[in-house]
């Protein structure tokens, strides 16, 4: 169905700013109705926005006055009606549970019982002992989460996912504490949420070499066909060590200590020892140009030519966790040269900034001020972009790239950081607008999280979903990508005939550049969701 009215299909908390976008070239009077049809609000959208990202004209209306719990939809004469949505304190409960259960369903080397996993249940996969690249040496690297639509496991992206999920728990303990593992196990020492993160942390510890460095990834030589995970039976190969994997591991283990020490001091001690060992190893590593796939391996490279931001994050995180002055000195030397920012797997600076800003340990106050100013400057740029966009997203036309949905979520995190630093509501509203964009207030009228809202992505690039013919719920699609980069989207468009950047998504299984899923896209979504709803 062609749409002209766009809202967050999952809904809004009562106190949230609520905006609706109309695809039209004239001002609009609109009504908000209950699901029974009763009109409870009438408004007018007078604000015209020329939207180059979507190649259209928009008008934006506000219905924040609607705060009563219920299910609603928006109408406007000549434009039809919107998808339905909820207003209520539990508006995101189902979405959160599904998006978090995705990590359980991505477990590798684990029997997923049908009772818990439903259609996606399967026996333990990838249980063979791994072999070091071009070596006869073997190593047990079972466990962890499948990274994406493929079955590889990668340390850097895994560390990013765990870090974001830890921040989600720190900011919104009530929401994250409500998560229940689909297995519905008997009471355990760890909350279900931390138990899930431990599954990935345990695997990463298996990837640590005796000298403290981390193998970059564990995968087969090549991507497999669309088969279930237990049917990928090729040899598991450990790719060589990398600085980025080692630094990310050191940082996330240090970060995790404070979450686990009150439940399992012995495990927290293991995390600390592994973190310190990795950090010392990282300091001795020099691999110019970053990790590159070795010959014969074509799975996800996650190459990163700059490892300074990983060193930056690790130093700040270890100082916050353990207090050694060497860690502080290492961070401050790097930060005096450049303040790094970013929440993506290739740009980890913002994790380091939060660790340094939030530590209770002594810091250089001038440097702390400079970091705050850099964070606010970035947020102001994003705010300006969001306010000029018809859908409130902080993406410019040239920023609809591979994984744009993750970038939208992480932009929301930068805006949230500014709200925490200033208390100015404009930043919180703009951060929440990135969530609304992902959940349906976008020019495609799609909820980018499978199985959520009223009109979600249905054919993600995800092997179990593709094999079974039904999208696993709770997965964030990669989002529009104007690169026209895979064969499926190339069969639909050329670069000359492609739609506007924000419309370059093909909801087809083959379109990995626009419709794949990853653990670290989900973690970005969940950190944003937990943050703006706390």
Pairwise CA distance, residues 313 & 331, whole Å: 8
Beta strands in 227-376 (DSSP E): 237-238
Comparing C-alpha atoms, which of 435, 294, 317, 407 is closest to residue 9? Answer: 435
Within 8 A by CB and 6+ apart from 172, the residues are 530, 531, 533, 534
Tell me phi and psi for residue 532, to 5 degrees.
-80, -10
Beta bridge partners of 367: none
Tell me phi and psi for residue 33, to 5 degrees.
-115, 150
Is there a contact between 503 and 142 (Cβ–Cβ < 8 Å)? no
DSSP state of 293: P
Beta bridge partners of 47: 60
Q: Would residue 216 show up in a list of annotated catalytic residues for this protein?
A: no
Pairwise CA distance, residues 442 & 454, whole Å: 14
Is there a contact between 102 and 476 (Cβ–Cβ < 8 Å)? no
Q: Which of 126, 146, 436, 461 is catalytic?
A: 461
Pairwise CA distance, residues 238 & 220, whole Å: 9
Question: How many beta carbons lie within 10 A of that of residue 199, not counting itself?
Answer: 19
Question: How many beta carbons lie within 10 A of that of residue 128, not counting itself?
Answer: 15
Whole-angstrom Cα Rg for the chain: 23
Which contiguous run of DSSP H or E holds residue 153? strand 153-154
Helices (H), 469-518: 487-490, 512-515
Pairwise CA distance, residues 521 & 89, whole Å: 25
Is there a contact between 429 and 479 (Cβ–Cβ < 8 Å)? no
Is there a contact between 501 and 489 (Cβ–Cβ < 8 Å)? no
Q: Which of 56, 150, 272, 307 is catalytic?
A: 150
Q: Would residue 507 show up in a list of annotated catalytic residues for this protein?
A: yes
Residue 163 class from Cβ within 10 Å (0-12 exposed, 13-18 middle, 19+ buried)? buried
Q: Would residue 62 show up in a list of annotated catalytic residues for this protein?
A: no
Q: Would residue 25 show up in a list of annotated catalytic residues for this protein?
A: no
Is there a contact between 485 and 504 (Cβ–Cβ < 8 Å)? no
Query: Which residues are the active-site residues?
Result: 150, 461, 507, 516
């Amino acid at each position: 169905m062609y749409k002209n009215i766009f809202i967050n299909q999952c809904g809004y908390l009562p106190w949230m700013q609520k905006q609706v976008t109309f695809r039209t070239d004239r001002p609009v009077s609109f009504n908000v109705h209950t699901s029974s049809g009763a009109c409870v609000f009438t408004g007018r959208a007078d604000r015209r926005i020329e939207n180059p990202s979507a190649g259209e004209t928009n008008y934006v209306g506000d219905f924040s006055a609607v705060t009563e719990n219920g299910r609603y939809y928006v109408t406007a004469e000549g434009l039809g009606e919107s998808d339905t949505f909820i207003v209520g304190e539990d508006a995101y409960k189902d979405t959160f549970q599904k998006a978090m259960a995705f990590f359980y369903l991505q477990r590798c080397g684990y029997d997923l019982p049908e009772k818990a996993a439903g259609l996606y249940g399967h026996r333990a996969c990838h249980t063979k002992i791994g072999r070091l690249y071009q070596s006869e040496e073997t190593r047990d690297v079972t466990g962890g989460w499948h990274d994406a639509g493929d079955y590889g496991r990668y340390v850097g992206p895994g560390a990013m996912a765990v870090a974001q999920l830890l921040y989600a728990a720190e900011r919104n303990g009530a929401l994250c504490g409500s998560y229940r593992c689909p297995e519905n196990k008997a009471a355990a020492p760890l909350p279900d949420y931390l138990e899930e993160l431990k599954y990935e942390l345990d695997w990463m510890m298996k990837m640590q070499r005796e000298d403290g460095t981390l193998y970059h990834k564990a995968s087969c030589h090549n991507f497999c066909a669309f088969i279930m995970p237990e049917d990928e039976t090729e040899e598991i190969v450990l790719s060589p060590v990398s600085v980025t994997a080692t630094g990310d591991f050191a940082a996330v283990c240090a970060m995790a200590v404070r979450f686990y020490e009150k439940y399992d001091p012995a495990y927290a001690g293991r995390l600390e020892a592994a973190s310190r060992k990795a950090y010392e190893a990282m300091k001795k590593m020099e691999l110019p140009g970053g990790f590159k796939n070795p010959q014969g391996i074509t799975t996800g490279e996650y190459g990163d030519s700059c490892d300074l931001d990983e060193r930056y994050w690790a130093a700040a995180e270890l100082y916050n966790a353990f207090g050694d002055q060497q860690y502080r000195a290492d961070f401050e030397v790097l930060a005096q040269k450049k303040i790094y920012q970013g929440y993506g797997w290739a740009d980890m600076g913002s994790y380091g900034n939060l660790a340094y800003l939030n530590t209770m340990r002594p810091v250089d106050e001038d440097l702390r001020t400079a970091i705050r100013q850099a964070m606010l400057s970035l947020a102001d740029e994003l705010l300006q972009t969001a306010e000029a966009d018809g859908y409130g997203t902080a993406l410019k036309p040239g920023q609809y790239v591979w994984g744009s949905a993750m970038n939208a979520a992480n932009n929301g995190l930068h805006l949230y950081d500014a709200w925490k630093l200033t208390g100015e509501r404009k930043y919180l509203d703009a951060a929440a607008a990135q969530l609304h964009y992902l959940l349906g207030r976008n020019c495609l009228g799609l909820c980018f999280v499978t199985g959520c809202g009223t009109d979600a992505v249905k054919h993600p690039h995800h092997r179990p979903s593709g094999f079974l013919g039904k999208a696993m719920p709770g997965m964030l699609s990669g989002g529009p990508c104007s690169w026209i980069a895979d064969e499926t989207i190339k069969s639909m468009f050329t670069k000359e005939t492609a739609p506007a950047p924000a419309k370059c998504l093909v909801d087809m299984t083959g379109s990995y550049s626009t419709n794949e899923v990853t653990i670290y896209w989900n973690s970005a979504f969940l950190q944003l969701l937990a943050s703006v709803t706390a």
